[in-house]
């Protein structure tokens, strides 16, 4: 029998390097993971370079690669994908940006890049949308709040470029720099000038907003400016259905991953309590994925908490979260007629608190899949598996072959 449907589970940033706190083991090696280990024992394993050996992937470029969209062709910057993930329908040619609500003092210096990790900024975004005017530039804009302090901005208009600097100084105690073009072109100068005007109008508006007056009275940092980065021009993407002949859905609390999914035509499935952190609703996400597979051919499920622990350098917390994920995955063991693919999008070693180019573990379990001698799911054990070492761009062709959805090359 051959599996017909696919769950691609990306445990974001789960792979790591040896950690002193764990006796020289990685969090995956140290964690108790009976479910993932059973998948390894009943499937075929390997390690994977999400893009290629020695390349440190971003979550954006790695997911594009895993889904079979070569980032060197499709990636123009994180901004457009982040904007799409917040619900902005990005059309080809629009310029997208990532944003943080942040706090500046009376002199204009940044005192908190995340405005005290503020939540529920929708009223701020609506006020900016309603009152900031860029019509003198011939620009329409959309500002949408994301999770916590995050937001996304999109420009629509003629003659816009995406090669501009950021106003995010990446540290506190300094002034946000002005936007400037990165090349000598009228389109990029226009975008930079429009962004400077956007901030000029937005700061006093935000400072006067009732939500910020209330935060000031409570001694909380005001969200009185917006730090903007990740500019990119939206390109044209072949739909997932056109590319593979498969219907699909995306389940993720991260707006970036949601945006990548909806950009290629995957259906977004919200899950109550999904946060993108260690407190996320793991059981709800797994149940939603299994429910979607009753209707869809393919589901991309992203679980992000391990990546956060890696960025924070918290090896023990990362190990503990992996064990929570493993427990939540138990219902997948009973899935029939399903190909379960488990991997990471990149390594996030606690020792460097950032992404690295280390390959990630991969296991594929399902009807018709050859098995190998691997019985544990971790970075070292999976390297002994039958898949050997592959690139991320090879994953979807392998998946499609295993569900008998590929065409023969040659006679």
Instruction: Report pLDDT for 400.
Output: 97
Between vectors from CA 108 to CA 107 and to CA 109, what angle results, nearest 5°? Answer: 100
Query: Count of alpha carbons within 13 Å of 74, Cβ hemisphere only?
Result: 21
Instruction: Report pLDDT for 57.
Output: 97
- Chain centroid to CA 198: how far? 27
Residues 66 and 87 in one domain: no
Instruction: Report pLDDT for 202.
Output: 98
The total number of residues shown for the chain amounts to 411
Query: Count of alpha carbons within 13 Å of 36, Cβ hemisphere only?
Result: 29
Range of the domain at 127: 82-233
The CA distances from residue 147 to 11, 144, 160, 275, in Å, are: 19, 10, 28, 8
Instruction: Report pLDDT for 147.
Output: 83
Question: 409 in a domain, yes or no?
Answer: no
Residues 397 and 263 in one domain: yes
Q: Closest Cα to residue 39, out of 359, 366, 321?
A: 366
Residues 148 and 272 in one domain: no
Sequence-ordered strand ranges (E) for 319-407: 338-343, 360-365, 388-391
Residues with pLDDT less than 70, the chain: none
Q: 114 by DSSP, 3-state: which?
A: coil
Residues 223 and 274 in one domain: no
Cα–Cα dist 368/403, whole Å: 9
Instruction: Report pLDDT for 58.
Output: 96
Residues 175 and 282 in one domain: no
What is the per-residue DSSP string for 227-286? EEEEEEE------HHHHHS--EEEE-SSHHHHHHHHHTTPEE---TT--SSTTS-HHHHH
Sequence-ordered strand ranges (E) for 54-187: 95-104, 110-112, 140-145, 150-156
Instruction: Report pLDDT for 25.
Output: 98
Instruction: Report pLDDT for 253.
Output: 93
Instruction: Report pLDDT for 1.
Output: 78
Cα–Cα dist 255/253, whole Å: 6
Question: 411 in a domain, yes or no?
Answer: no
Residues 125 and 196 in one domain: yes
> Is the pTM for the entire model greater than 0.85?
yes
- Helix pair 186-208, 210-217: axis angle to 10 deg: 60
Question: 408 in a domain, yes or no?
Answer: no
pLDDT in tens, 217-244: 999 999 999 999 999 999 999 999 999 9
Long-range contacts of 25-28 (CB under 8 A, 24+ apart): 26/378, 26/379, 26/380, 27/306, 27/309, 27/315, 27/318, 27/319, 27/322, 27/350, 28/322, 28/361, 28/377, 28/378, 28/379
| Total structural domains within the chain | 2
Residues 33 and 140 in one domain: no
Residues 33 and 58 in one domain: yes
CATH number of the CATH domain containing 302: 3.40.720.10
Sequence-ordered strand ranges (E) for 167-241: 225-233
């Amino acid at each position: 029998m051959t599996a017909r449907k696919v769950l691609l589970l990306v445990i974001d940033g789960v792979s790591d390097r040896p950690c002193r706190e764990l006796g020289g083991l990685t969090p995956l090696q140290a964690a108790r993971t009976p479910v993932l280990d059973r998948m390894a024992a009943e499937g075929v394993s390997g390690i994977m370079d999400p893009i290629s050996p020695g390349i440190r992937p971003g979550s954006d470029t790695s997911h594009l690669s895993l889904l079979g969209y070569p980032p060197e062709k499709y990636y123009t910057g994180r901004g457009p994908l982040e904007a799409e993930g917040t619900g902005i329908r990005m059309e080809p040619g629009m310029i997208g940006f990532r944003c943080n609500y942040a706090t500046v003092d009376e002199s204009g210096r940044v005192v908190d890049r995340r405005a005290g990790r503020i939540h529920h900024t929708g009223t701020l975004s609506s006020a900016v949308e309603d009152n900031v005017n860029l019509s003198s530039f011939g620009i329409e804009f959309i500002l949408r709040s994301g999770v916590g302090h995050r937001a996304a901005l999109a420009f629509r208009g003629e003659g816009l470029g995406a090669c501009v600097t950021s106003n995010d100084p990446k540290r506190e105690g300094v002034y946000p720099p002005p936007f400037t073009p990165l090349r000598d072109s009228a389109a990029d100068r226009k975008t930079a000038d429009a962004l400077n005007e956007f901030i000029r109008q937005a700061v006093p508006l935000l400072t006067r907003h009732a939500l910020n007056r209330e935060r000031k009275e409570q001694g909380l940092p005001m969200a009185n400016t917006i730090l903007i980065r990740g500019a990119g021009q939206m390109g044209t993407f072949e739909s997932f259905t056109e590319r593979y002949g498969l219907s699909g859905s995306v389940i993720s609390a991260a707006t970036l991953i949601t945006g990548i999914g909806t950009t290629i035509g995957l259906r977004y499935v919200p899950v109550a309590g999904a946060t993108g952190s260690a407190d996320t609703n793991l059981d709800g996400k797994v149940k939603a994925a299994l429910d979607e597979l009753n209707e869809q051919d393919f589901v991309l499920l992203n679980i992000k908490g391990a990546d956060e622990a890696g960025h924070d350098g918290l090896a023990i917390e990362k190990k503990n979260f992996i064990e929570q994920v493993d427990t939540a995955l138990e219902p997948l063991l009973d899935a029939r007629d399903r190909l379960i693919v488990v991997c990471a999008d990149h390594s996030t070693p606690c020792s460097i608190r950032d992404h690295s180019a280390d390959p990630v573990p991969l296991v594929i379990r399902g009807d018709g899949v050859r098995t190998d001698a691997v019985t544990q799911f971790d970075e070292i054990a999976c390297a002994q598996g039958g898949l050997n070492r592959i690139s991320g761009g090879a994953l979807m062709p392998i998946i499609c072959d295993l569900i008998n959805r590929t065409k023969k090359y040659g006679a």
